[in-house]
Amino acid sequence: MTALDVTGARTPEAADVITGARERIDALDDRIIGLIQERAAVSAVIQEARITSGGRRVNLSREMEVLGHYREALGKPGTALAMTLLELCRGRI
Ligand SMILES: O=C(O)C(=O)C[C@]1(C(=O)O)C=C[C@@H](O)C=C1
């Protein structure tokens, strides 16, 4: 496949722009994944401390704060993103 095919561009110039921008997106995605893994590790510390102290894994009022934070920053899809992040960090409830 040529660069034109894989990018969907109709000109070599557009294919170059897309190929370069996709490299930046791949690098950003790697950083985002790393941050999600770091977030999950910090979240695990909190959950462990709470459970060890006799509490529950989940704290719904805090989850509402997290959901609101993402919704304020990113709009309605931010809520869906935060729900996915919470599931990654504390499992399904
Ligand atoms: O902040 C907490 O108390 C956490 O346990 C962290 C966290 C989160 O990942 O944001 C995870 C589970 C809780 O239900 C609420 C929030």
Closest ligand 1 atom, residue 93 Cα: 14
pLDDT, tens digit (0-9, with 9 covering 90-100), for 21-80: 999 999 999 999 999 999 999 999 999 999 999 999 999 999 999 999 999 999 999 999
CA–CA gap between residue 78 and residue 58 (Å, rounded)? 20
Q: What share of the chain is helix, strand, coil (3-state, %, to 5)?
A: 80, 0, 20
Residues with CB under 6 Å of ligand 1 are 43, 46-47, 58-59, 62-63, 66, 86, 89-90
